[in-house]
Amino acid sequence: MSEDAKKNMHWSEIIAEEVLGTREPPYVVMSGITTSGPLHPGTLCEFMFADAVYKSLKKKTKDAKYVFVADILDAFDNVPEPFKKYEEELKPHLGKPLAHTPDPEGCHKSFADHFLSEAENAMEKFGASPQILRADQTYASGKYDEYAREFSERKEEIKKIVQESSLRESMPEDWHPIMPICEQCGKVATTRILNYENGEYEYACDKDAKYAKGCGYRGKAKIGDHKYKLLWRLDWPARQVFMGTKAEGGSVDHHTKGGSVSTLYAIHRKFFKREPPIMYKFGFLKYKGKKYSKSKGIGHSMQELMELLPIPVLEYALLRPDIQEDKELVLDESTLLPLITDFEHAASLDQDSELARADRKKAVAYSLCGKKEWSAPLTDVLLNYAIYKDWEKVGELLEDKEGAAYLSKYVNSWLERGWIPDKYVFNLGEGGSPQNPALLRKFAESLREGMGEDEVQAAAFDTAKGEGIPPKELFRDAYTVLIGKPMGPRLGKFIRIAGISRIKGMLLEGAE
């Protein structure tokens, strides 16, 4: 695929074409998260980007699959904010696998399942339906066993690969590929291997992981008992091999020199003697230049985003930029309307027609999102509501009752936050006095029923020019009388929607 051809393609298409051109079927796209707390806006990228690649593959082949990994055997290392009220109850479980930690609210079988359910609900809302691969079940089924044996039996070789690829000067003396789950206390973060031979190992639970201390127990186990997990840098490539992964993404921090992707490449090539999957890199989600961070209170929360922005628009905002770019996601009075206007523009495009490069990419991004649930432009919706303050009336006038009802909850929230441009926020009839009543009266007298918005607009310009007065002075007076502001929405459209006879009367009365 030439560089020139890529310029006309959406990033998901470029990745899909690379997979199709360099890998054999089946084409498994994989992504995953550790469900250790509430879903964060940044984690949307983990499943949305993979879903976009999968959907682009599906357009080309039936032999594509999307797998989402729940890394829920990772250690429970921190009590998230929503569960701080249960901190004393949860503290004894720090260091255990998330899947073995109880849900203090009792609504799910484990701490991990509580937040995995939240992620699954979000994926459903965003139109993603991957196969969910739970780490606890995958280990229990024995999928990792042959890799745990091979890593353990060739420990010095894999240790050297990890050290070199991660740019470490040294490795711990007790480094081992396996992290046993303590039979006594159930912790995985505080154990270490003492001896290993032929699939059997002796371990001690005596490490201090800062957030958890070992219980001191010494035990024996076999790999076939499935009471272990692999170190993260080994788990990832092993999983990719047995799942047949052909494409997987990772954020910029995974792709840094010496990062986990460096180790992944090295293990595939040096240990497994095979080419790794296509590993695409994606940028950070940012808020006013800073990386989204729940702990630091930077950025919108998931709840806020879901309440304040239609999901298809949120999808579009994340899928529209190039995959490697950082994505600025800031909702306020300066960003909201341009974002939705661009989404509406993308919805109007046919990706299979002749389009400019930028427009084609927008069209493809839109095709990967949920669909627009309203028909009229948002600006028309805002103008109608500003005039009539009645959502049923807005739906009738726009001949889109469902679309108006759909947008109403969002518009009301935007109005409360002051995110709607000032020209769409007014009370019709609460005006002031014009500076040139005679000019305004002459314009009002030129209005007649049946005029279109362009005719009304032209009448305003013609009236002002006919009197040798700058048109902006007439517009200023009209807005002043009608809404008490010097500026407003496009006058022709405003007058047509509000009713020509009604506005004519208001202008004539204001000009007296």
Judge whether 436 and 404 are in contact, CB under 8 Å.
no
Whole-number pLDDT of residue 406: 98
Whole-number pLDDT of residue 1: 66
The residue to which tokens 């529209």 are assigned: 320
- Amino acid making up residue 202: E
Whole-number pLDDT of residue 81: 86
3-state secondary structure of 203: strand
Sign of CA dihedral 228, 130, 101, 39: positive
Whole-number pLDDT of residue 257: 96
H or E stretch including 378?
helix 378-388
The encoded tokens of residue 383 equal: 């103008």
Contacts of 215 (CB under 8 A, 6+ apart): 182, 184, 185, 187, 190, 205
The residue extents of the domains of the chain are 3-144+232-286, 178-230, 437-510
44: region left, alpha or beta (phi > 0 left; psi from -120 to 50 alpha): alpha
Whole-number pLDDT of residue 297: 83
- How many Cβ atoms from other residues are within 10 Å of residue 158's Cβ? 23
Whole-number pLDDT of residue 200: 98
DSSP label of 144: T
- How many Cβ atoms from other residues are within 10 Å of residue 503's Cβ? 23
3-state secondary structure 16-28: HHHHHHHCCCCEE
Cα of 336 vs its chain's centroid, Å: 16
Sign of CA dihedral 476, 478, 482, 488: negative
CA 433-437-441 angle, to 5 degrees, is 120
DSSP label of 293: B
Distance CA 458, CA 340 (A): 29
Sign of CA dihedral 345, 351, 357, 361: positive
3-state secondary structure of 69: strand
Q: What is the dihedral angle through the alpha carbons of 161, 142, 176, 227, rounded to the nearest 10 degrees? A: 160
Whole-number pLDDT of residue 88: 96
Contacts of 150 (CB under 8 A, 6+ apart): none
Whole-number pLDDT of residue 268: 98
Contacts of 167 (CB under 8 A, 6+ apart): 257, 258, 262
The encoded tokens of residue 421 equal: 């441009």
Whole-number pLDDT of residue 4: 72
* Nearest partner of 39 among 122, 104, 106, judged by Cα: 122
| pTM exceeds 0.75 for this model | yes
Per-residue pLDDT of the chain (512 residues; tens, 9 = 90+): 677 778 889 999 999 999 999 999 999 999 999 999 998 898 899 999 999 999 999 999 999 999 999 999 999 999 998 899 999 999 999 999 999 999 999 999 999 999 999 999 999 999 999 999 999 999 999 999 999 999 999 999 999 999 999 999 999 999 999 999 999 999 999 999 999 999 999 999 999 999 999 999 999 999 999 999 999 999 999 999 999 999 999 999 999 999 999 999 999 999 999 999 999 999 999 999 999 987 788 999 998 999 999 999 999 999 999 999 999 999 999 999 999 999 999 999 999 899 999 999 999 999 999 999 999 999 999 999 999 999 999 999 999 999 999 999 999 999 999 999 999 999 998 888 999 999 999 999 999 999 999 999 999 999 999 999 999 999 999 999 999 999 999 999 999 999 999 999 999 999 88
- Structural domain 437-510, CATH architecture: Orthogonal Bundle (1.10)
- Given this structure, which CATH class describes domain 3-144+232-286? alpha beta
What burial letters (b/e) apply to 53-70, b meaning 16+ CB within 10 Å? bbbbbbeeeeebbbbbbb
Judge whether 236 and 135 are in contact, CB under 8 Å.
no
Contacts of 5 (CB under 8 A, 6+ apart): none
Whole-number pLDDT of residue 48: 96
